Amino acid sequence: DGGITQSPKYLFRKEGQNVTLSCEQNLNHDAMYWYRQDPGQGLRLIYYSQIVNDFQKGDIAEGYSVSREKKESFPLTVTSAQKNPTAFYLCASSIIRDYNEQFFGPGTRLTVL
């Protein structure tokens, strides 16, 4: 079955530690995205990538880093520089075309203690 997987579903880390969230897709999509969701707020774009080895900052990139070494994979690292990392993180992918219909993974809930 084609789809997007994110792991783990729940993640706990101590303050000051970097943590990497996994996102894999087998839909053969060129574009991949990372979003952050906080209670009562809309999804906010962290980073996106439209091609392997290239990515762009979204609206809230500070404190995060990404890589896109393979078309299928777009891991997100939450660094210790991110002031308020506890949130729900969603990965998505899409074909690059006018309408940008995105398919979402199940999400990872990160809690920093």
Partner 1 sequence: KNEVEQSPQNLTAQEGEFITINCSYSVGISALHWLQQHPGGGIVSLFMLSSGKKKHGRLIATINIQEKHSSLHITASHPRDSAVYICAALFQGAQKLVFGQGTRLTINP
Distance CA 55, CA 3 (A): 21
Query: End-to-end distance of the chain based on CA atoms, in angstroms?
Result: 36
Residues in contact with partner 1, shown as a per-residue x/- string from 48 to 77 under the rule CB under 8 A: x-x-------x-------------------
- Smallest distance from partner 1 to CB 64, Å: 16
82-101 footprint of partner 1 as x/- string (CB under 8 A): ------x-x-x-----xxxx
15 binds partner 1 (CB under 8 A): no
Kindly calculate the radius of gyration of the chain based on its CA atoms and give it in whole angstroms: 13
Q: Which residue has the tokens 């789809």?
A: 3
